[in-house]
Amino acid sequence: MPPAPSNRPDPDENPVPSVTPVRDRGDACPGALRLHTADDGALARVRVPAGVLSAAQAYALADAAERLGDGALDITSRGNVQLRGLEPGCGGELARLLDAAGLLPAPRHERVRNVVASPLSGLDGRGHLDVQPLVRDLDALLCASARAPELSGRFLFALDDGRGDMAEFAADVMLLAEPGGAAVRVTVGGAAVRVRAEDGPRAMLLAANAFLDAAAASGTRAWRVRELPAAHAVSAADLRARVAAAGLAAVATASPPCPDRAPGRESRPLVGAGHGAVYVAAPLGRLRAAQWRLVAGVAERYGTGELRVTPWRGVVVPGAGPERLGALEAAGLVTDPASPWLGVGACTGRPGCAKSLADVRADATDLLPAGAGGLPVHWSGCERRCGHPRGARVDVVATGDAHYQVSTPGAPPRTVPLTELAGALAAARTTTPTKTPTK
């Protein structure tokens, strides 16, 4: 039986401090088996490596949301799927449902299968290598690893096919395909090693093990690589030695730990169709079960039978053509690249989160801008800013009494009443950022 739901605060996916105090407990990230108690019921987070689901798995998630939860599915900023409003005591039934759909291949490892990857890899001809097979190899290695459950539920693996779209996630262990596609660079913190592409997943797991040893040696119980004290950072020599000891051919690289070019919007799956796929987004990342089933049905009948949930709160349906967009749009999904929804995000807010000072989703919907363009906007019910995107944005944080604090990069924040927020937001979105926040 899964453990009882936790009543600790949901840490969500907001960044952690760069310096970590010594911790006396593990992280409290929810999972599919460790439910989190929220104000609107229990919450389950189902890890979906690289966001890849079969249509059958997507149908199973919709069934779970309807039978046990509030009838909707949330896409997280790591491309995982969350169920909310779950009935107390439903953990066993949820686990059986997910297990039958193949969504719990290794129950002890379920919270550490945090893997993002270039969603269009292998579809659009960009990138140096199709990283999807490497994602499957990494997941299999993770699920078979005795040490992997020691990782925190926040630890993140990323695989970038060379287009640079994973750079923004600041993953703990990163694989970046190199030109030609025969080699990949694996990084953990400032240490990097170059290996053959097929050895990349094993090198990633070795890098994660190096982090675990470094975290243990530091005595901090760090959850993320960037939390390690400098004196205990994983060194390139250590990483290279581990890779060599595992029998992998490695060449040290002095390259920076992440792609140093900013990912352009064109490298991400925008909404619409092209390259033999259809892309849709969900307003504020939430799909009703019927919308979710519609997307799964398109994948099943007109696509390859696969869906790729993206960290930008959308879904890619490989193999489907543009003639499917009409039905998806009619169901309330975003298919127009000019939709204002594409620049707006929000945390859970009220009524789901006890910390929230406002129903931020309702306010974000009411104040949806007239069109796309300008800086993205992220609404938060409190200072934690859960799920915010990285990079330049307008932060709108509830301060109570129908007021919000609006902040833009390089400008002092100002608090405005809800009644004046539309104008303040319109001005803030057109601000030219003078610096980019790092978190």
Contacts with ligand SF4 by CB under 6 A lie at: 12, 347-349, 353, 355-356, 380-382, 384-386
Give min distance, CB of 356 to ligand SF4, in A.
3
Give min distance, CB of 385 to ligand SF4, in A.
5
The smaller minimum CB distance to ligand SF4, of residues 255 and 399, is found at 399
The smaller minimum CB distance to ligand SF4, of residues 222 and 386, is found at 386
Give min distance, CB of 397 to ligand SF4, in A.
8
- Which parts of 101-235 fold into alpha helices (H)? 132-144, 200-218
User: Which residue shows structure tokens 């470094």?
Assistant: 214
The smaller minimum CB distance to ligand SF4, of residues 31 and 263, is found at 31
Pairing of strands 157-160, 115-117: parallel
User: Which residue shows structure tokens 């040893």?
Assistant: 213
The smaller minimum CB distance to ligand SF4, of residues 132 and 348, is found at 348
Give min distance, CB of 154 to ligand SF4, in A.
14
Give min distance, CB of 426 to ligand SF4, in A.
23
The smaller minimum CB distance to ligand SF4, of residues 347 and 424, is found at 347
Pairing of strands 250-252, 41-46: unpaired
User: Which residue shows structure tokens 């301060």?
Assistant: 399
Whole-angstrom distance between the N-terminal and C-terminal Cα of the chain? 37
The smaller minimum CB distance to ligand SF4, of residues 13 and 110, is found at 13
Cis link prior to 351 (omega < 30° from 0)?
yes
Give min distance, CB of 196 to ligand SF4, in A.
42
Beta-carbon contacts of residue 80 (< 8 Å; ≥ 6 apart): 45, 46, 47, 48, 51, 114, 309
* Cβ-closest position to ligand SF4: 381
Give min distance, CB of 352 to ligand SF4, in A.
7
Pairing of strands 250-252, 191-196: antiparallel
What is the rounded CA–CA span in Å between residue 295 and residue 151?
A: 33
The CA angle 313-387-96, to the nearest 5 degrees, is: 70
The smaller minimum CB distance to ligand SF4, of residues 39 and 323, is found at 39
- DSSP of 7-31: -SPP-TTPPPPSS-PPPSS------
Question: Are 354 and 37 a contacting pair, CB within 8 Å?
Answer: no
389 secondary structure, DSSP code: P
Give min distance, CB of 386 to ligand SF4, in A.
3
The smaller minimum CB distance to ligand SF4, of residues 98 and 377, is found at 377
- DSSP of 298-313: HHHHHS-SEEEE-TTS
The smaller minimum CB distance to ligand SF4, of residues 36 and 324, is found at 36
* 336 exposure class (CB count in 10 Å sphere: 0-12, 13-18, 19+): middle
What is the rounded CA–CA span in Å between residue 137 and residue 361?
A: 38
Give min distance, CB of 378 to ligand SF4, in A.
10
Q: Residue 221 has which token pair?
A: 């119980």
